[in-house]
Amino acid sequence: MKYVLLFVDTPEFAAEFDAMGDEERGRAVQKVYEWLDTHSDKLRGGNKLRAPETATTVRLDRGEPIVTDGPFVEGKEVVSGYSEIEVADLDEALRMVKTWPGCPIVEIRPVEEL
């Protein structure tokens, strides 16, 4: 089964990451690369997203489409990246995500294949 993992940053996580020294930040990033390497047989794609300030949002539920700069989602959490995985079931996806060393929130969404 295919899932998309949405990696979500919080303002607190971003502040802690920014406050790290170069060596500590490097070790944190290395842990993410190791996680990706460990699960490479299940990864089918994905990327880190650019900063939320670079986003453009189109709202389609208010008559004419409204285009705004920025993500402007409800709340302060921001999707910072994603990966598509292929695993046997949700339990396997959960086992993977429980070892994620990066941002503090990961949303798991099943892919609906058309």
The pLDDT of residue 71 is: 56
Q: Please say if the pLDDT value at position 33 is more than 90.
A: yes
Helices assigned H by DSSP within 1-114: 11-19, 22-38, 90-97
Confidence grade of residue 59 (pLDDT, cut at 50, 70, 90): confident
- Predicted confidence band of residue 73 (pLDDT cuts 50, 70, 90): low
66: confidence class by pLDDT, cuts 50, 70, 90: confident
Structure-model confidence comparison of residues 54 and 20, the more confident one: 20
What does the alpha-carbon distance between residue 85 and residue 97 come to, in Å, rounded to a whole number? 11
Whole-number pLDDT of residue 27: 97
For residue 95 the two structure tokens come to 């086992």
What is the spatial distance between Cα 1 and Cα 10, in angstroms, rounded to a whole number?
Answer: 28
In this prediction the pTM is 0.84
Question: What mean pLDDT comes out for the span 30-59?
Answer: 92
